[in-house]
Amino acid sequence: MHCRWIVVAVTLMSVGCAHSKRTPESELPQYEHVFQKPLAEALAATRQLLEEQGHTFEETEDPNQLVTQWKGPGKSASRAETHTRYLVTGIVLSPRQSVVRIFRMTQQAAGNDVEWRNHWWKISAERGEHMSNPFVKAVDLQENDAETKRLAMLRGAQHGVRDLELEKALTLRLESAPSVEVISGNVMEAKRPTAVRAPEFYLDRWQEEPPTAGPCTTSVRGLEELLHPGLTLIIGEQLGSREAPEVVGHAVCQAGQTGLAVVLGLSLPASEQARVDAYLASPGAPADQDTLLEGNFWSRPYQDGRSSRAILDLIDRVRALRAAGQRVTLVAYDTDVLRGSERDAAQAKVWTERRARKPDEVHVVLAGNTHTRTTKGTDWDKDFTPMAHLLKGYPSLVVLEMSYAQGTRWGCDLDRSGKLACGIVGATPAPRVSAPAGLSPYVQRLEAPADEGFQGLLYVGELTPSMPAILGLREAPPPSSMPAPPPIHMKPPIF
C-alpha cells in the first residue's frame, strides 16, 4: 500500500517538473541567427520596430548599439513599479553579414505605501527592506533636458534577458518580405562608378578573403602593457616611409582586438574627413579609392609624405578592421589653413574635445616628430609650441619616437636656392633611436624621458620610401642615373 503511494507521488513530481516554467536561460538560442544584411540596415530595422512600440532612444558611444529610454512604470504583483528598456547589440561578421541581439532590461522601483491595504504585507515588506542594503545615493527624479525621468539611481534589482519574440519579429521583417522582381523600366539603375586608373594602381584588400586567424597578422611586442581605456598614444615619425604606417596599423589592430574603442589620428586636413568617413563605410573597391583621392590634399604640388601610398593603405586597413567588427575609426586632425604654433594648437584641440566627449577611447595619433615634442621651442623657432606639449597634462599620455635602421624615405626639403624639392631622401637615425634592421616591431620604454619629451621608442625596421599615393604602386627610382646601390642592410652602418 505504501509503495503505491510512493509511486504516485514520484509520478506527480515528475509531471510537475516536466511542466515547470522555463527559465530565461533555458530559452537562449543554441545558435545565433546571421542576417545577410549590413549591420547598419539590420539596426535601422530594429530601431523602426522598437519605435513602432512607442520606444525612444538615447545616444550611444558605440555605433553598433541601440539603447531605449526607460519606459514605465507598470505595476507588478508587489508594490514595486517596473520600468523597461531595451539594449540592442550588433556584431559585424562581414560587409553583408551581421548578428543582432535584443535584450529587455527591467528595473523595479519602490511604489507608494498608501496603495497597500493589507498591513501584514506592509510590515513584512518593510522588514525585508530594513534587512536589505540601504541607498548608496538618494533617489533623483528630476527631469533632464529631454523631459524624461532619470531612473539610474532608483533602488531595486535590474534584470536583462534576451527578447526572443522581438528577435523573431525582426527576422520576419528582414527576411519575409515579398520577393522583388526586376523588369526593364521599373527600377532606375544606379550609375555604376568606373575606375579611372589602371588596374595595377589600386589596393586589392577589398577582394581578399579575411584571414582565418583574424585581421591582426603581426603583433607589436610590448604594446599590450600600454593598452588601457583612456590611453593617448602619440607616435612621432619620419614622414614618407612604408614601415611607420605599416607598424602603426599593426598597433591599431592589436588595440582593437582587445575590444577597446580605438581612434587612429592621421595628419590629414579636417576637410578630408567626409571623404574618409565615406571610404570607411565603403567596400574599398577601385571606384571608392578614386573618390577618396579626389580631395585636394592628395594632389598638392608638393607631396610631403603625409599623402603617401602607405598612408592610403593604412586608411584602407582601418576600413577592413571595421568590416571585421573592430571598434576602430579614423580622425583627420590637421588643418591646411594655419601655420606654426596655431596649427599645433588646432591639432591639440581636436583631441582635447574628443577626450572630453569620449573619455574611454584609445587614441593612437601618428604625427611628424616635430609635433610630438612635449617641450617648447625648436632650433628654428624658440617660441614654437608643439601639439604634444599642449596634451602633456593627460595622465595617460605616452609619446613614442620612431626607432629605425638607416634607409631612405620620400620627403621634401629646401635646396641651396631656397626652393622646395620633394623626392627620395636619405634617412639616417640619430644614435638614440638607431637600431639594427630585420627585427620584429616592438615598444621600448625609456628609464627617463628624452630631452624632447618622448618616453619610449617604437621600432619599425629599415626605412624604405613610400611614393605619393597618386603615383600608384611604383618602386622608388634611384636618385640619379647611376646604378642603384645595394640594399642598406648590406652596407656597414655609419654609426
Stated as kind and residue range, the H or E segment containing 175 is helix 164-175
* Residue 355 counted as domain residue: yes
Shared domain for 211 and 167, answered yes or no, is no
Give the orientation angle of helix 309-323 with respect to helix 243-257, to 10 degrees. Answer: 10
Shared domain for 149 and 214, answered yes or no, is no
Shared domain for 73 and 220, answered yes or no, is no
Cell of 472: 600608384
Quote the Cα angle for 21-75-137, to 5°.
105
Buried b vs exposed e over 237-262: b needs ≥16 C-beta within 10 Å? bbbbbbbbbbbbbbbbbbbbbeebbb
* Residue 224 counted as domain residue: yes
> Number of folded domains in the chain?
2
The phi and psi torsions of 347 (rounded to 5 degrees) equal -65, -45
Shared domain for 164 and 208, answered yes or no, is no
Shared domain for 143 and 221, answered yes or no, is no
Q: What is the 3-state secondary structure (H, E, C) of 295-357?
A: CHHHHCCCCCCCCEHHHHHHHHHHHHHHHCCCCEEEEEEECCCCCHHHHHHHHHHHHHHHHHH
* Residue 469 counted as domain residue: yes
Sheet holding 232-237, edge to edge: 328-334, 262-269, 362-368, 232-237, 397-405, 456-462, 442-445
In one letter, which amino acid is 71? K
Shared domain for 203 and 152, answered yes or no, is no
* DSSP letter, residue 246: H
Shared domain for 154 and 254, answered yes or no, is no
* Residue 492 counted as domain residue: no
- Tens digit of each residue's pLDDT, the chain (495 residues): 445 544 444 444 444 444 445 554 556 777 888 888 889 999 999 999 999 999 999 998 889 999 999 987 655 555 567 889 999 999 988 777 889 999 999 887 665 555 545 555 555 656 555 555 544 444 444 444 433 343 343 444 556 899 999 999 999 888 876 654 545 455 455 555 666 788 889 998 988 877 767 789 899 999 999 999 999 999 999 999 999 999 999 999 999 999 999 999 999 999 999 999 999 999 999 999 999 999 999 998 888 899 999 999 999 999 999 998 899 999 999 998 999 999 999 999 999 999 999 999 999 999 999 999 999 988 888 899 999 999 998 889 999 999 999 999 998 887 777 788 888 889 999 999 999 999 999 999 999 999 888 999 999 999 999 999 988 665 554 444 444 444 444 444 433
Shared domain for 158 and 245, answered yes or no, is no
Host domain of residue 89: 29-113+134-172
Cell of 22: 522555463
Shared domain for 69 and 164, answered yes or no, is yes
Q: Helix count (H) and strand count (E) of the chain?
A: 10, 15
Shared domain for 161 and 210, answered yes or no, is no
C-alpha to C-alpha distances, 250 to 98, 253, 255, 370, 489, nearest whole angstrom: 25, 5, 9, 23, 23
* Residue 120 counted as domain residue: no
Shared domain for 163 and 213, answered yes or no, is no
CATH of the domain at 310: 3.40.50
Shared domain for 337 and 218, answered yes or no, is yes
